[in-house]
């Protein structure tokens, strides 16, 4: 038995100001019904003694140690720049300002 009717899909689409054709309403009602049934199956299995997980496998991030290092000098930072002036990167003007 379908839990989401075509009329419900049409009402939500109207609230969201989404114009759907009749064939789209029928298709979406069926697709949303499958989603609702899948959620019901998961909810039936998810009991308080089953811990919530976001991934089926344990995950860990691989980070390098955060070791402070000496920063680049202005000359080193600007060494690869196509153009620099007065210790700053020079870029094309885009807003017509001076």
Higher-pLDDT residue of 12 and 96 is: 12
Residues with Cβ < 8 Å from 32, sequence gap 6 or more? 4, 9
User: φ, ψ for residue 42 (rounded to 5)?
Assistant: -65, -40
Residues with Cβ < 8 Å from 28, sequence gap 6 or more? 9, 13, 20
List the domains of the chain with CATH numbers. Answer: 6-45 (1.10.20)
Q: Tell me, yes or no, if the pTM score tops 0.75.
A: no
pLDDT, tens digit, 9 for 90 and up, residues 14-26: 999 999 999 999 9
pLDDT, tens digit, 9 for 90 and up, residues 23-46: 999 999 999 999 999 988 888 887
* Banded model confidence at residue 97, pLDDT cuts 50, 70, 90: low
DSSP letter (8 states) at residue 80: T
Q: Where are the beta strands (DSSP E) in 1-98?
A: 84-85, 88-89
CA–CA dist 66, 51 (Å, integer): 33
């Amino acid at each position: 038995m379908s839990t989401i009717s075509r009329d419900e899909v049409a009402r939500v689409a109207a609230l969201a100001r989404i114009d759907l054709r009749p064939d789209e309403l029928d298709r979406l009602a069926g697709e949303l019904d499958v989603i609702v049934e899948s959620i019901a199956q998961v909810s039936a299995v998810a009991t308080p003694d089953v811990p919530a997980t976001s991934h089926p496998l344990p995950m860990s991030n691989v980070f390098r140690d955060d070791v402070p290092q000496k920063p680049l000098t202005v000359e080193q930072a600007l060494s690869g720049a196509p153009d620099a002036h007065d210790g700053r990167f020079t870029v094309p003007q885009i807003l017509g300002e001076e």
